Amino acid sequence: MFAGSVPYLMLAGNLVAGWQMARALLVAEDLLPKGQDVEFMRAKIATARFYADHILAKAPGVRDSIVEGADSVTALPLEAF
């Protein structure tokens, strides 16, 4: 029952972190034109872009391994665990 837990938790963690990064991105995009803490806001935007490009881009593959990868785990006898 725990065989799929690691990919599931990794996916959930990456998506929740991506949601928080998106929230920070929206605030940064709102404050940047106002001139408030410009370098920090630019860094927030760059960090959110990096996270989306490098971490969130893997989410569909992890999702597929969770959904489609069950057969290889259930093929093992219970004694194998």
Q: Where are the domains of the chain?
A: 20-69
Enclosing H/E stretch for 33: none
Q: Which pTM was predicted?
A: 0.79
5 and 57 in contact (C-beta within 8 Å)?
no
Going by pLDDT thresholds of 50, 70 and 90, the confidence category of residue 14 is very high
Indicate whether 64 pLDDT > 70: yes
20 and 50 in contact (C-beta within 8 Å)?
no
C-alpha span between 57 and 62 (Å, rounded): 10
- What does the pLDDT look like over 27-56, one tens digit per residue? 999 999 999 999 999 999 999 999 999 999
